[in-house]
Amino acid sequence: MKRTCVTCVCAFAAFAFAGTARLSSQDKKDAGEAHKIVHFGDLKWTPIIKGCDIASVDGDMNAEGTPFVLRLRCADGSKIPAHWHPTDENVTVLKGTFLVGMGETFDESKMQTMNVGNFVSMPKEIRHYAMSKGETIVQVHGAGPFKVNWVNPSEVPPPDAAPAAAKPKS
């Protein structure tokens, strides 16, 4: 009987300690940074190549080992020449159709179609290329730095020039 009572007391003490530790860790989470909501309309798009813009969603894509989320928006028919990244790249299609191919040369016949909701993970340094059908938006996440190394830089179409500012009338 004494042994059963000691066992019950020990079990209760362990349960009470675990519950207190759990509440304490929850308090730390609650006291930390607040959640972050990013509205699509607040994204700041920057042209990167002809027909494609990039926008940072979260994190710092240029910082070493830091998690980041970015979006790539491409006009219908935009082609992203063969390239590679020094870190793993994870891509989810949010809008449109994104075609992806592997290799050092853009070859439309070897591309695989990715529709909305599809995901692809590209290991670091693998050569790949892409194309959009319809206006396409993909979300990319990974650990920085996010760098694009073009296989053949001469194939990279420069972004369209920004519209010239209107000249004041005299």
Task: Report pLDDT digits (tens) over 149-158.
Answer: 999 999 999 9
- In this predicted structure, what is the pLDDT of residue 33? 76
- In this predicted structure, what is the pLDDT of residue 2? 54
> How would residue 160 be classed by pLDDT, with cut points 50, 70 and 90?
confident
Query: Is the pLDDT assigned to residue 17 strictly greater than 80?
Result: no
Task: Report pLDDT digits (tens) over 77-123.
Answer: 999 999 999 999 999 999 999 999 999 999 999 999 999 999 999 99
Query: Is the pLDDT assigned to residue 165 strictly greater than 80?
Result: no
Residue 83: burial class (beta carbons within 10 Å; 0-12, 13-18, 19+): buried
- In this predicted structure, what is the pLDDT of residue 95? 98
Question: Position 112: which residue type?
Answer: Q
Task: Report pLDDT digits (tens) over 33-86.
Answer: 788 899 999 999 999 999 999 999 999 999 999 999 999 999 999 999 999 999
Distance CA 120, CA 114 (A): 9
Token reading at 47: 């042209």
* Residues 97-129 as b or e (16 or more Cβ within 10 Å = b): bbbbbeeeebeeeebeebeeeeebebeeeeebb
